Structures are given as structure tokens and as C-alpha cells.
Amino acid sequence: MARYFDLHPENPQKRALGQVVEILRNDGLIAYPTDSCFALGCRPGNRDGLDRIRSIRKLDHRHHFTLVCQDFAQLGQFVHVDNAVFRAIKATTPGSYTFILPATKEVPRRLMHEKKKTVGVRIPDHRVTQALLAELGEPLLSSTLLLPGEGEPMTQGWEIKEELDNVLEAVLDSGDCGVEPTTVVDFSSGEAEILRVGAGDPAPFE
């Protein structure tokens, strides 16, 4: 059964965040809010968590997982970013964007795209997510909480708990969050290619 955490949207309770971090470090899988809808998340080294995300969302091995990072210092450990790409990403983060970039050796192979050796990264503009990442001290391996056959992601914490109570360890709720997934920009070739238009304005990359 998933634990339910009702967090303050501006000043999330430190004690509750500490409990969530303990769950994550014990290889738990959580649902948490971001600036562009709820996501499923676990530690990058959690192989079982990765398998459970694949199972919940019915994902194949071509799916790009995302490392949700606290800041650029963290992001730079996991992807190769040249100066031009750095400037383009820096101008739009934190925000509702996911960037596909070549992965560094810090990224476990199972998290990379099979053929391209790339991974998604993002820096969210959301107080609760940022506070959780600061407490955890590493990125969250994440995927949008979009269930198979559904046209839109889940948006209510209590509904997520009811629906996924037996497959998650925790649900974090801080009220309304975005209902649109991120805009996905592929920089793996060095040039911006918009793969999905979502919550982030695509204009800077067109």
C-alpha cells in the first residue's frame, strides 16, 4: 500500500520529504508532482523501479527515460553538453522541457536509448520537486504518469493512490500541478529537433 504525503506547495514539510527520501533510498517507487503533470520516479540505480515503471506504462525499450535534475551542476554529470547547446538549455530552464542528449558514463546502460546511447534530462520549475531533489542529493529517474490507453496524464494525487496503490510505495500531493507533459527537444545531433510540443514554449528551439 502506498503512503500518501500531503505536502505544502510552497514550503514542503522537511520531515515528510525525509521520509520520502528514505523510501526512495530503500528502492521505492513514487508518484510525484512536477511543473508539467505527475511523474513516476525512483533512484537511477533502482533496477526494480525501472522495471515497474515499464510495466505500469507498458513501455518498450525504445522509450527515453528522463533524469530529473536539481540544477545544471547535476545535469552536467549525466549528459554531454557543448557550449551552444548549453546556452540554449540554460535560457529555458528551469521549466517544462525535456532535453535528449548523449549520455555520459555516469548513466547506467539500461537507462539509455538502446541504439543512440542518449538519455532525457530536465530541471523542473516546481518547489516540491526541487525540495525533494535537494534532500535526495541525486536525480530522479522519471517518466510521465500516463497510463496505457489514456489520452491525458493523471492529475489528482488521491486518484493516483486509488489506481496505483499496490504498485507504488508513496504518492506525493501538493495540489494542482500541470496537466501537459514537457516539450521534448532532441539535441543529440547538436541541432534542436522538437520531438513533442507540450507545456514548454517550443519557439526558442524552432
- pLDDT tens, position by position, 32-57: 999 999 999 999 999 999 999 999 99
DSSP 159-202: HHHHHHTTT-SEEEE-S---SSPPEEEE-TTSS-EEEE--SS--
Nearest CA among 48, 46, 39 for reference residue 24: 46
Q: Is the per-residue pLDDT at 91 higher than 90?
A: yes
What is the rounded average pLDDT of the residues 9-25? Answer: 97
Per residue in 171-196, pLDDT tens? 999 988 878 899 999 999 989 999 99
Nearest CA among 61, 66, 65 for reference residue 114: 61
DSSP assignment letter at 17: H
Interatomic CA distance for residues 4 and 98, integer angstroms? 27
In the prediction, which pLDDT does 29 show? 98
Task: Check if the beta carbon of residue 120 is closer than 8 Å to that of residue 182.
Answer: no
For the chain, give the mean pLDDT: 94
What percentage of the chain has pLDDT greater than the value 90? 83
- How does residue 23 score in pLDDT terms, banded at 50, 70 and 90? very high
Helices (H), the chain: 14-25, 47-57, 72-75, 83-90, 127-136, 157-164
What is the rounded average pLDDT of the residues 162-170? Answer: 96
Rounded to a whole number of angstroms, the CA Rg of the chain reads 16
What percentage of the chain has pLDDT greater than the value 70? 100
Planar angle of CA 176, 177, 178, nearest 5 degrees: 130
Q: Is the per-residue pLDDT at 65 higher than 80?
A: yes
**pLDDT higher for 95 or 154?**
95
Domains within the chain, CATH numbers bracketed: 3-205 (3.90.870.10)
- How does residue 116 score in pLDDT terms, banded at 50, 70 and 90? confident
- How does residue 85 score in pLDDT terms, banded at 50, 70 and 90? very high
Q: Is the per-residue pLDDT at 148 higher than 80?
A: yes
In the prediction, which pLDDT does 160 show? 95
DSSP assignment letter at 152: S
Q: How many CB atoms lie within 10 A of CB 115?
A: 8
- How does residue 61 score in pLDDT terms, banded at 50, 70 and 90? confident
What is the rounded average pLDDT of the residues 105-131? Answer: 92
How far CA 64 is from CA of 115, 135, 176, in Å, comes to 11, 25, 26
